[in-house]
Structure 1
Amino acid sequence: MRNTVFRKLMANEFGQVRAELMASDHVLSALGGRTPDQALDEGIPAKEIWVAVCDAFEVPEHRR
């Protein structure tokens, strides 16, 4: 999954503004105490980050 696809999925699920705030501010334990943006910057695959976000916010399986 590319970063652009990750951003689009985030915006579609949470809305553009909330998605941007979540990516920059929400620390996820599944990402080792990183925000999604930090995890992307450190080279963690976007798909892994998306799964962590979905788990944290209980996104239904059919929308993942």
Structure 2
Amino acid sequence: MRGSELQIAVREEFGALGAVLLADLVLERLGGRTGAEALRGGVPAREVWAALCESQDVPADRRHGRGLRDPRA
């Protein structure tokens, strides 16, 4: 997942709240950082997406990112 794909997935899944979640929600799975901080620190976008989905109870069938290609088997 690229950074641009993360932005699309966040927007599609969470709407206008997505930008706030990335900027403000502290995620323990990311070492107590926000998604934006983790990205700046070099954490891959896919890991940030997984942590955000986990924290917000996104169903497993949507965790590959709405609007994105299905993950490879």
Poorly superposed stretches of 4+, deviation over 6 Å: none
Which structure 1 segments of 5+ residues have no match? Answer: none
Which structure 2 segments of 5+ residues have no match? Answer: 64-73
Letter in 1 for 2:59: P
**More strand as a share of residues:** 2
Fraction of identical pairs, as percent: 41
TM-score (norm 2): 0.84
Q: Select the structure of larger CA radius of gyration.
A: 2
State the SS of the aligned residue for 1:24: helix
Q: Which has the higher contact order (CA 8 A, sep 6+)?
A: 2
**More helix as a share of residues:** 1
Any idea what the Cα deviations from partners look like across 1:7-59, whole Å, max 9, x if unmatched?
100000000x2111111100000000000000000000000110101111110
For the aligned residue pairs, the C-alpha RMSD in angstroms reads: 0.5
